[in-house]
Amino acid sequence: MIPLSWYLALAGALFCIGMYGVLARRNAIAILMGIELMLNAVNINLVAFWRYITPTQMSGQAFAIMVFAVAASEAAVGLALIISIYRSRTTVVAEEIDMLKW
Amino acid sequence: MEPLQLIFLVTGAVTLLSALMVVVSRKMVHAALWLVMTLASVSVLFVLLNAPFLAVVQVVIYIGAIATLIIFAVMLSRRSMDDRGPQTSHRWWLAGLIALALFAAIVLLVVLHPMPTAALPGAAPTEALRQLGLALVHVDGFVLPFELASVLLLAALVGAIFVARPPDADTAGGEE
């Protein structure tokens, strides 16, 4: 059998790659992609813990489904904001979107 | 049980490599396609974890909806930074350092704690699927969070349509 720690290490690595994307990329869409990677890592963790610790209760899978819904909402709203900003400023670079800064 | 471990290792390597390509590739369309690859291999992981419903949902929602949305957004905003200028901010090494430190901390925690090495015997896949469906709509289960999630999704989609509308549509369609 596959030990639980393998899944946790894989999910941790995926989360850290996503976090690097969020912190280092300048393109706002790339930042959103990093967030999707992080949410996927969390989902792997939830399902792995469900499978290895409480396979008779459905909390892990139900929580993963909530994460799916939140990820879909986040992607829709985030991309709508990016497209709207692109329309008015013709940029998707995160550090140039500073209308709220001063 | 050796074949399962081999499948896991191959899938995990594909997941991590394509995730790395998502965060380092210069062209956003390529990054989006690598993201599709990552999402597909995560769905293979869900199959390995005996969660077939989540694997299908992963394909339908993530690859079918979210990745398509991202590709559309990349296409619509393509002229602004395709290939010119650096794709990473000037302190990218700090971001890499933070990510590596977090990964080291996670691995340390996983190594230090005793973990189960084999999955507990769960219900058969069809039975588990029935239980999941019941848990999502039963009063003693997750009916309230589930309905809340659907209301959140509806609100987010209506908000997304409103935000992404072109500015001159404000006056054109508001009379009715």
Interval B122-156: pLDDT, tens: 777 788 888 888 888 888 888 999 999 999 999 99
Interval A42-65: pLDDT, tens: 999 999 999 998 888 888 899 999
Instruction: Say which range, A74-78, B38-42, B136-140, has the weakest mean pLDDT.
Output: B136-140
Distance from CA of B133 to the nearest CA of A (A): 9
Q: Beta-strand (E) ranges in chain B? A: none
> Is the Cβ–Cβ distance between A44 and B43 less than 8 Å?
no
User: Is the Cβ pair A47, B54 closer than 8 Å?
Assistant: yes
Which two tokens mark A9?
């290490």
pLDDT for the residue numbered A42: 95
Going from the N-terminus, what domains does chain A have, and what CATH number goes with each?
Answer: 26-93 (1.10.287.3510)
What B55-58 contacts at long range (C-beta under 8 Å, 24+ apart), as own/partner pairs, is B57/A65, B57/A68, B58/A43, B58/A68
Domain over B1-78 is classified CATH 3.90.550.10: no
Q: Categorize the per-residue pLDDT at A71 as very low, low, confident or very high, splitting at 50, 70 and 90.
A: very high
User: Is the Cβ pair B157, A14 closer than 8 Å?
Assistant: no
Residue A30 has pLDDT above 70, yes or no: yes
Which two tokens mark B93?
């090494």
Residue tagged 């077939």 (tokens): B52
pLDDT for the residue numbered B18: 96
User: Is the Cβ pair A80, B161 closer than 8 Å?
Assistant: yes
Distance from CA of A102 to the nearest CA of B (A): 21
> Which residues of chain A lie closer than 8 angstroms to B92, CB-CB?
23-24
**Mean pLDDT of the A15-31 span:** 93
User: Is the Cβ pair A56, B123 closer than 8 Å?
Assistant: yes
Which of B81, B98, B128 minimises the CB distance to A23? B98
pLDDT for the residue numbered B176: 41
> Which residues of chain A lie closer than 8 angstroms to B163, CB-CB?
77, 80-81, 84
pLDDT for the residue numbered B84: 63
> Which residues of chain A lie closer than 8 angstroms to B100, CB-CB?
16
Instruction: Give the global pTM.
Output: 0.90
**Mean pLDDT of the A21-28 span:** 91
> Is the Cβ–Cβ distance between B115 and A12 less than 8 Å?
no
**ipTM of the complex model:** 0.92
pLDDT for the residue numbered B165: 86
